[in-house]
Amino acid sequence: MKRIILAFCLLAHAFMMAQSLEFSALAENYNMSVRAIQIWQNKVYYAATDSKFGYIHLKEPTIRKQMKLSDANLQFRTLAQTDDLFYTVNIESPATFYKITKSTFTAEEVFTDTIKTAFYDAFMFDEKGRGLAISDPRKEGKPHFRIISSKNYKNEGGIMPKYQEGEAHFAASNTNIAMKGNSVWIATGGTVSRIFKFNWDKPYFWNVYNTPFVNGKSSTGIYSIDFYDEKFGIAVGGDYTKQAENINNIATTFDGGETWQIQASGKNGGYKTCVKIRPKSKGKEIIAVGDHNIEFSSDYGKTWKRISQEKNLYVCEWIDENSLVFAGKNRILKAEFKN
């Protein structure tokens, strides 16, 4: 039995060490910063700085299109999609929501949030067309968000958390929201790092779960979360002002976000802005990207290997189980896993 276990461990280690990425440029010197992407019909769609929205074909990068959603110099760090539409909203107030029709590539303003504290950090729809856009809280610590759905959810007797002073979200990669099944998770950072969770049956009743994640300053906390199913999830982040620090900046949950366990503290590549679980891996294989490197885990986030020194990339999305898109400062890259 010991020999079998040893052989298995050696095989897993060899697999992890063999993982590498082969990059190809979809767009370089693009004069924009991209923190929100979506994949649809062999194209990567992006919402970016300077009010830019567009797409690039994944197999024929010369096929591309871009438009400006506003004459103002807006920064977009959110992008969500349904079967027929894309949605995005700019950071800072006033925050204007746009919908873009997929079939015609035409945009329309649908709502403007004029509350002074509005700062939308993430926007996501699930497979049933239920959407959530999350903003930093109001001044009194009340949650600030918008639910977009064909169903009219009524806030009758809801129980909402109060944000602690200095607690908010990070508009780093449009990934501090996760959705699986009927569950929705929202990650916070700053003075505390917590997880808010609700069920779509009662979207105004939020549970609050503390985490052992790094916190205490406006720059520290959870920057990104992802869930494989309604039980297993992972959170990454750190401190963007001290990006080499790697203490308590990765955590996992196996009970749907109620409890979190720190992983690889002091043994990872530091600050991360985006984490994505590999499709068809049952949660075992995970990729995480930060400003200074890309790391990969093949054991549910317990250990990590640096697989790329690419810098200034902020967000990633799986195309399939063997390829991804990365985006960041002035460029969008496609990457293939090579063993």
Domain boundaries, given as residue ranges, for the chain: 29-338
Predicted local distance difference test score (pLDDT) of residue 191: 97
| Average pLDDT over every residue of 18-40 | 92
- For the cut 60, the answer to whether the pLDDT of residue 8 exceeds it is no
User: SS3 for 310?
Assistant: coil
- For the cut 80, the answer to whether the pLDDT of residue 10 exceeds it is no
CATH fold label, 29-338: Methylamine Dehydrogenase; Chain H (2.130.10)
| Average pLDDT over every residue of 57-65 | 97
* Percent of the chain's residues with pLDDT above 90: 91
d(CA 94, CA 112): 6
Predicted local distance difference test score (pLDDT) of residue 156: 81
Mean pLDDT taken over the chain: 94
pTM of the model: 0.94
| Average pLDDT over every residue of 111-125 | 98
For 204-235, the DSSP string reads EEEEEEE-----SSTTEEEEEEEESSSS-EEE
The CA–CA distances, whole Å, from 55 to 43, 102, 306 equal 6, 11, 29
| Average pLDDT over every residue of 210-221 | 98
Lowest mean pLDDT among 7-16, 139-148, 253-262: 7-16
- For the cut 50, the answer to whether the pLDDT of residue 5 exceeds it is no
Per DSSP, which regions of 228-322 are E strands?
233-239, 250-253, 261-262, 274-277, 286-289, 294-297, 305-308, 313-320
- For the cut 60, the answer to whether the pLDDT of residue 6 exceeds it is no
- For the cut 80, the answer to whether the pLDDT of residue 219 exceeds it is yes
- For the cut 50, the answer to whether the pLDDT of residue 302 exceeds it is yes
- For the cut 90, the answer to whether the pLDDT of residue 19 exceeds it is no
| Average pLDDT over every residue of 299-317 | 97
- For the cut 60, the answer to whether the pLDDT of residue 4 exceeds it is no
- For the cut 70, the answer to whether the pLDDT of residue 15 exceeds it is no
- How buried is residue 19: exposed, middle or buried, by Cβ count under 10 Å (0-12/13-18/19+)? middle
Band of the pLDDT at 205, cuts 50, 70, 90?
Answer: very high
* Cα–chain center distance at 331: 18
- For the cut 50, the answer to whether the pLDDT of residue 235 exceeds it is yes
Predicted local distance difference test score (pLDDT) of residue 26: 97
Predicted local distance difference test score (pLDDT) of residue 179: 98
| Average pLDDT over every residue of 141-155 | 93
Predicted local distance difference test score (pLDDT) of residue 140: 94
Predicted local distance difference test score (pLDDT) of residue 157: 84
| Average pLDDT over every residue of 48-58 | 98
Give residue-wise pLDDT tens across range 89-100.
Answer: 999 999 999 999
